[in-house]
A and B are shown apart, each in its own frame.
Chain A
Amino acid sequence: MSADTATITTNAVGHAAAQYRRHSRTLWRRMLLRTETAIVLAIILLIIFAITTVPYFAQPYTYLTMILNSAPILLMLLPVTLIIITGDIDLSVGSVVGFSSAIFGLSFHAGIPLPLAAGVAVVGGGLVGLLNGVLVTVVGLPSLAVTIGTLALFRGIAVGLLGTTAITGFPSEVTQFIGAPLFVGAPAPMVTVAIIVVAIGFAVVLHLTPFGRGVFAIGLSSETAAFSGVRVNRTRLILFVLSGLVASATGVYYTLQYSNAIGTNGLGFELQVVTAIVLGGVSIWGGRGSILGALAGGVLIATLNKTLQLAGIGSDTISIVTGATLIFSVVVAGIAGFISRRRRSKASVIAAGVEKHRAIPNPKSVPSNH
């Protein structure tokens, strides 16, 4: 009987099926009702507010220093975003900055040419990233515990290597170039180009390649990903190495920008990185998020910080800005999640209603897990 029913309905169903909509929501809803849009809007509103009310905000120099100050965070958050999307976390990136800064400074101090010293530091960062990755994937330890441990370890090595000395005396033409505006009077420094290039690179990998599809799949369900041919552990390992590489490159940049290699460079950056990413709508449970959102989160924190500083709230506002925005964003996300869960459960009743007319008269099945 059921087989007949299926045959009869084939044509009608087939006709309907060919007309699936591409998206379940209209374009403007998809564009507007997302974290990225909210954050970008918040940034724009904040800048308008700051320009009109905060003295000295509307000057190229303000933007220049703002980007310079936030550049390390904006760079480091790119690979960490991918790591968080797979459901892992890397808390050691700030210490890798210090580690790379120490290696870079010592190599330079030992007379190694600057580019080679930078290369050594970046390779070193790749290796410590590999250590994290091996402990997480091969040994199977939780990434949170591992990277809390290596956070202390890498920082300890950096501080231990350099002691209380600071290595300075990097060639001034290099350090000045690093901090210089793109062109005379431009509101953005040279490093902006690097941020944009690296960000586009990571955005392409994450959003436009099969590898990126795998990254999302691991975060959504690592078991399903494994059953679909995603090399789960290899992907996670690659991401930890990438994170080490980018963080150490950031360490080199940071050292040159301040012309100062000390063991405490990048102290606490890991928390700012995670905050920016979570604020930008990347789910800490994995599976959801975008490079644009994470970057926007970082920019919002930087803008807020700069605004508060110029408004005279205090010179050291970064921690309260970071903390309060993070708590604010998870509270808002928590409430939004609650609302959408309620709406979804209503929607699923409606969706299920489509099936009702055939399921009820033939009540011969059982849900696997309710």
Chain B
Amino acid sequence: MNYTALLELHGVTKTFGAVAALVNAELVLKAGSIHAVIGENGAGKSTLVKIIGGLYRRDAGTFLLDGESVDFHNTREAKAAGIAVIYQEPTLFPDLSVAENLFVGRQPYTRFGALDRAKMRRETRELTQRLGVPIDPDREARGLSIADQQVVEIAKSISVGAKVIVMDEPTAALSGIEVERLMGIARQLRDEGKGLIFISHRFDEVFALCDVITVMRDGSYVATNLTTVTTEDEIIHQMVGRSVDNLYSKQEALIGEPVLEVEHLTSAGVFQDVSFTVRSGEIVCLAGLVGAGRSEIARAVFGVDPYDSGSVRMGGISVPRTSPAAAMRLGIGFVPEDRRKQGLAMTAGIQSNITLAIRHKLARFGFIIAPLEEPSARTWAARLQVKMYALDTEAQMLSGGNQQKVVLGKWLATKPKLLIVDEPTRGIDVGTKAEVHRLLSELAGTGVALLMISSELPEVMGMADRVLVVREGRITAELPRATATPQNVMYAATHAPEVAA
């Protein structure tokens, strides 16, 4: 065939110091097509997007745009070359009007040297109308729904004449009808001859919308499939890939009395009527898509976020609302999703980080000094085999895996009865991953109840005694270890419950 692809990536590799984020990525995007890139969290999709968008520079490989090699140093160069990236959470200027956001940095002037607001307004109206979503050009961007913000971003990319439009998980925060609308826009753009890259987790959307599906796993390219000839099962197999049993060494643990009992927990617009129990020695996994409300449930249980109604009990005692300190006294530990912002004080030493949650316990007569903290810090760092030079090394100096071990150590030091772990292995290397899994399994073996949130199916399959699937803020399926398979978990997470049932 004698055609030139719009955008071609071959053997693109990107490493960050120790960690290889992307290895030999392959992608061929043709004009007038929608190309899905699909994979689990940590598969390298975001890194790929950032290289295309000019936020990162590749270490190796070829990157062709219209058949010519390009190497963007910043986002501006990528934009100028006709590449627009629309992120999950768009970055608009909330105080400026929609029209101004569309034209920021390139506003047209009238003959008298003033901004040509009429022209901006007119073009904005035309563009948003063309996209089927007329948005008032004069309203300020603050308060626009995420869906409308995305429309503004898409309109912006059209008005600068982008040839390639990348959408990075655009549907994660959208409701069903908004997704429909977005897909309509995407098809329209495709029919106008633009090339779209669509990053998603959701099979139904990918199969309904895209022409080609590229699957990635663990930072590498796996396969490219034509939608017309492939099946969901095949894609899931490509995504999950490796054999689950080898990786995770779950020990059998004695499952005992209920430790955590959550009943009818509701937070308006976030999650509804969530009830579940976690028993001692049991690992319960909250599975589902990003944005389904899993972390929000866990945060409400721990008391970081408020909730509207329902109850949380630990060992029969009611856990007060919005008080992590009280939750900790009742034996709850929480390893949060974002270890850089929520788990660690990045510029503080390892020792201060490990002992932060047990500072009251370590104090003698109300006073705490470094020698009182040192044994705990030393013990837990050593037990988790944290690789570091000294106890006062700043947390930001460690690799992701070691940082996560420090967070785990911090919470294990509190001797929790229930440990909530939110994405415990996100962004850490495979070896450390296995260590974390072994550790969590051992912990369950000692009778600790574990509530785990994970977006990685093999991890869920390998670790969970019970899988609770969360979809759009509700628990839609409960699958015991024996019957849970990647296929039925993924199915329950992506399909409305009446279909799943």
Decide if A and B touch, CB cutoff 8 A. yes
Q: List residues of A whose CB falls within 8 A of some B CB.
A: 1-3, 5-6, 10, 13-14, 17-18, 20-24, 204, 208-210, 213-214, 216-217, 220-221, 223-231, 287-288, 344, 347-349, 351-356, 358-360, 362-370
**Residues of chain A contacted by B166 (CB below 8 angstroms):** none
**Residues of chain B contacted by A5 (CB below 8 angstroms):** 431
Contacting pair B18 A287 (CB below 8 A): no
**Residues of chain B contacted by A216 (CB below 8 angstroms):** 345, 348, 352
**Residues of chain B contacted by A359 (CB below 8 angstroms):** 18-20, 399, 429
Interface residue? B104 (CB, 8 A): no
Contacting pair A365 B400 (CB below 8 A): yes
**Residues of chain B contacted by A220 (CB below 8 angstroms):** 345-348
Report the minimal beta-carbon distance from A257 to chain B, rounded to whole angstroms: 34
**Residues of chain B contacted by A17 (CB below 8 angstroms):** 381-382, 385-387
Contacting pair B392 A22 (CB below 8 A): yes
- Select from chain B the residue with minimum beta-carbon distance to A212: B368
Report the minimal beta-carbon distance from B496 to chain A, rounded to whole angstroms: 31
Contacting pair B431 A358 (CB below 8 A): yes
- Select from chain B the residue with minimum beta-carbon distance to A213: B359
Given contacts A224-B342, A224-B344, contact A355 B246 (CB under 8 A): no
**Residues of chain A contacted by B328 (CB below 8 angstroms):** 229
Chain B at the A interface: SS class: mixed
| CA A94 to CA B133, docked complex, whole Å | 55
Between A and B, 23 residue pairs with Cβ closer than 8 Å are A3-B248, A6-B435, A6-B438, A20-B388, A20-B389, A20-B391, A204-B367, A209-B366, A216-B345, A221-B345, A223-B341, A228-B410, A229-B325, A287-B347, A287-B348, A359-B18, A363-B15, A365-B219, A365-B430, A366-B21, A366-B44, A368-B339, A370-B16
| CA A227 to CA B336, docked complex, whole Å | 8
CB within 8 A of B324: which of A21, A229, A354, A366? A229
| CA A82 to CA B483, docked complex, whole Å | 55
Give the interface centre of A13, A14, A358, A365 by most chain B CB atoms within 10 Å: A365
* A-B residue pairs, 6 tightest by C-beta: A363-B20, A220-B345, A364-B218, A368-B427, A21-B390, A352-B17
Contacting pair B433 A365 (CB below 8 A): yes
**Residues of chain A contacted by B17 (CB below 8 angstroms):** 348-349, 352
| CA A103 to CA B277, docked complex, whole Å | 59
Of residues 429 to 471 in B, which have CB atoms within 8 Å of A's CB atoms?
Answer: 429-431, 433-435, 438
Contacting pair A352 B399 (CB below 8 A): yes
| CA A360 to CA B410, docked complex, whole Å | 28
CB within 8 A of B387: which of A214, A231, A354, A363? A354
| CA A229 to CA B43, docked complex, whole Å | 33
Report the minimal beta-carbon distance from B423 to chain A, rounded to whole angstroms: 9
Give the interface centre of B16, B246, B345, B367 by most chain A CB atoms within 10 Å: B345
Chain A at the B interface: SS class: helix
**Residues of chain A contacted by B367 (CB below 8 angstroms):** 204, 208-209
Contacting pair A3 B434 (CB below 8 A): yes
- Select from chain A the residue with minimum beta-carbon distance to B41: A366
CB within 8 A of A208: which of B246, B369, B397, B402? B369
Interface residue? B72 (CB, 8 A): no
**Residues of chain A contacted by B338 (CB below 8 angstroms):** 368
Interface residue? B481 (CB, 8 A): no
| CA A224 to CA B356, docked complex, whole Å | 10
**Residues of chain A contacted by B393 (CB below 8 angstroms):** 24, 351
Contacting pair B345 A13 (CB below 8 A): no
Contacting pair B397 A351 (CB below 8 A): yes
- Select from chain A the residue with minimum beta-carbon distance to B374: A22
Contacting pair B346 A221 (CB below 8 A): yes
| CA A213 to CA B369, docked complex, whole Å | 10
Contacting pair A210 B363 (CB below 8 A): yes
**Residues of chain A contacted by B430 (CB below 8 angstroms):** 2, 362, 364-365
| CA A253 to CA B202, docked complex, whole Å | 69
**Residues of chain B contacted by A24 (CB below 8 angstroms):** 389-390, 392-393
| CA A231 to CA B392, docked complex, whole Å | 25
Interface residue? B121 (CB, 8 A): no
